Amino acid sequence: MLSARSLFQEILDNDDSYRLFCSIAASGETQGGWENARIAALVPESLAALAPKITRHGADEDKHGRIFNALLGKRGLEPVPVPPETDYTMLLERRGIGLAHDRLRRDERLTETDVLVYLSHSRVTEQRASEQMAMLVRYFGDHPEVGRAVRMISHDEDNHLAYCHEELLRLARAGHGRTIQRTLRECALAEIAVYRDVSLAVTAHMGRILRWPPAKSAALAGGIRAVYAYERAGRWRRMVGLAMPERRDALGGPPEPAPAL
């Protein structure tokens, strides 16, 4: 029977599929670290109080990239190039979601609207990250090889999501509510499509590595498309709601060190 647990176990048990999985994850986290570091350096003076939290966010993402690379190193594996069709961050950028890398490379202050776009994009993508890591913790939180790593990353992703909720609510109270809601909706509808495309691409690569029979690959692809249809029908709205989190000031301190793997 196909299940998320059995699929991830299959990926974990094979060096080549595990290598690709960790490489994709490390690359995405490292990109996120760079993006947040640049945003922190470019925030407008009116939002300067956000810079330390954005810096902390970026430091966490960098740490996650190092954790995934360390997991590879424990097996004596090297990262592999990330297939472009599996690059979640860049595919979102091509759809005009978030702040373009060309914009972040310029030494030019961001506007308040740019920061709203960044936080809205982060609120949507951190929802996905939080859900995905919670699933991995449920299945592999006690795993001797990856358990500590997935628990720490899951904790951080929950902090990132809480931070996005809190800061967006603060900015909404300052008069930016309509812009935030419009941007959240655009980001969410783009994200569910990109997540579908990336999931299909990753599944295709894993299927070739693990030599899945065509029926299994077709069933998985059908499941991914069914999830997208469900999200497109209304489930995407979970990504745009805002509520004051239980974790207040979640990124108010220094980043926690990576665990000893």
Q: What is the CATH number of domain 4-239?
A: 1.20.1260.10
Calpha distance 249→71 (Å, rounded): 30
Residues 6+ apart with CB under 8 A from 34: 58
Place of tokens 């060096």: 15
Would you say 162 and 154 are in contact if contact means Cβ atoms under 8 Å apart?
Answer: no
Calpha distance 230→245 (Å, rounded): 26
Would you say 42 and 109 are in contact if contact means Cβ atoms under 8 Å apart?
Answer: yes
Would you say 180 and 118 are in contact if contact means Cβ atoms under 8 Å apart?
Answer: no
Please report, for the chain, the start and end positions of each structural domain, with discontinuous segments joined by +.
4-239
Would you say 43 and 111 are in contact if contact means Cβ atoms under 8 Å apart?
Answer: no
CA atoms within 13 A on the CB side of 30: 14
State residue 8's pLDDT score. 93
**Structure token digits, residue 87:** 């690059």
The tens place of each residue's pLDDT in the chain, 261 residues long, gives 578 899 999 999 999 999 999 999 999 999 999 999 999 999 999 999 999 999 999 999 999 999 999 999 999 999 999 999 999 999 999 998 999 999 999 999 999 999 999 999 999 999 999 999 999 999 999 999 999 999 999 999 999 999 999 999 999 999 999 999 999 999 999 999 999 999 999 999 999 999 999 999 999 999 999 999 999 999 999 999 999 999 899 998 777 777 666
Place of tokens 């904790």: 155
The H or E element containing residue 232 is helix 214-233
